[in-house]
């Protein structure tokens, strides 16, 4: 093909590809908006009061026995790393597992004297509610 013919076709191809991308993105938005909360990848990772009303049969965790209850526990695992070292990505990947609960915000307990002075009980109260068989993980700088 001549270069002039190719130059004439390129805008049409770009338009078609743009429309395809727009349709795909629109479809993804509809799918995300209609997905139930209990089927989202991070279901149960956030302790929001109203989330308790959405517990369904498709929950990734087995229903707890009446003797079990969720409590705030000290983390069984700490992710320690340098800035821009990928620790947030690691934490987000681990959070996808239903038996792992993560502290969503950094508490800065070990690297800040003011928060460390608040004591271990204050630190425990910053952790998410978990069942006994779940592992609590916190990321700290």
Establish whether 70 is an annotated binding residue: no
Give 27's contacts (C-beta < 8 A, 6+ positions apart).
Answer: none
Establish whether 86 is an annotated binding residue: yes
What is the rounded CA–CA span in Å between residue 46 and residue 85? 24
Catalytic residue among 5, 31, 84, 118: 84
Establish whether 73 is an annotated binding residue: no
Q: Is 118 a catalytic residue?
A: no
Establish whether 84 is an annotated binding residue: yes
Establish whether 29 is an annotated binding residue: no
User: 3-state DSSP: the chain helix, strand, coil percent, rounded to 5?
Assistant: 45, 10, 45
Known binding-site residues equal 84-88
Known binding-site residues for 3'-phosphoadenylyl sulfate equal 84-88
- Supply the residues annotated as catalytic: 84
């Amino acid at each position: 093909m001549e270069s002039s013919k190719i130059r004439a076709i390129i805008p049409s191809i770009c338009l078609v590809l743009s429309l395809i991308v727009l349709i795909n993105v629109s479809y993804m938005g509809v799918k995300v908006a209609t997905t139930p909360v209990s089927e989202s990848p991070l279901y149960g990772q956030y302790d929001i009061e109203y989330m308790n009303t959405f517990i369904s049969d498709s929950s990734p965790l087995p229903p707890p026995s009446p003797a079990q209850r969720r409590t705030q526990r000290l983390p069984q695992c700490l992710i320690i790393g340098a800035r821009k070292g990928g620790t947030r990505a690691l934490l987000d990947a681990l959070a996808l597992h239903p038996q792992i609960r993560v502290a969503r915000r950094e508490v800065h307990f070990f690297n800040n004297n003011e928060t460390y002075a608040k004591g271990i009980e204050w630190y425990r109260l910053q952790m998410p509610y978990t069942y006994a068989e779940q592992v609590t993980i916190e990321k700290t700088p």
